[in-house]
């Protein structure tokens, strides 16, 4: 089963509000077993346009676990704080598992 990744891009308007969101979201992420893989300020754009001034990558044990976290009652308390403090995009993607090499 592939891992699930939630990727958020954030154009932050209110840093204090984002700090409050981070505190509120931390518990739900810990309960869901999320790992924070990246929190990057201005990323290096290699091609095209990128949204926002911060990118966050979260890893979950599965796509289902990531979706359950995003739709959880606990995270629902934090989401409005993020929406008030930043213009955000969020996507859920499945990790890729390389097929075994033939023997």
CATH of residue 85's domain is 3.30.70.100
Determine the straight-line distance between the first and last CA of the chain, rounded to whole angstroms.
Answer: 22
State the pLDDT confidence band at 76, using cuts at 50, 70 and 90: very high
Q: Decide if 99 is inside a domain.
A: no
Read off the pTM.
0.89
Domain extent at residue 37: 4-94
Q: How confident is the model over 10-62, as pLDDT tens digits?
A: 999 999 999 999 999 999 999 999 999 999 887 888 999 999 989 999 999 99
The tally of domains found in the chain comes to: 1
State the pLDDT confidence band at 1, using cuts at 50, 70 and 90: confident
pLDDT over 90 at 102, yes or no: no
Report d(CA 98, CA 50) in Å as an integer: 28
Q: Decide if 32 is inside a domain.
A: yes
Q: How many residues does the chain have?
A: 103
Residue 80 CA, distance from chain mean position: 15
Q: Decide if 102 is inside a domain.
A: no
């Amino acid at each position: 089963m592939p891992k699930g990744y939630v990727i958020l891009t954030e154009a932050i308007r209110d840093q204090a509000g984002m700090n409050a969101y981070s505190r509120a979201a931390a518990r739900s992420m810990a309960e869901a077993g999320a790992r924070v893989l990246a929190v990057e300020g201005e990323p290096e754009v290699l091609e095209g346009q990128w949204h926002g001034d911060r990118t966050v990558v979260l890893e979950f044990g599965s796509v289902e676990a990531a979706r359950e976290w995003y739709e959880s009652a606990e995270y629902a308390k934090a989401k409005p704080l993020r929406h008030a403090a930043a213009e955000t995009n969020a996507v859920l993607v499945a990790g890729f598992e390389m097929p075994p090499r033939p023997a």
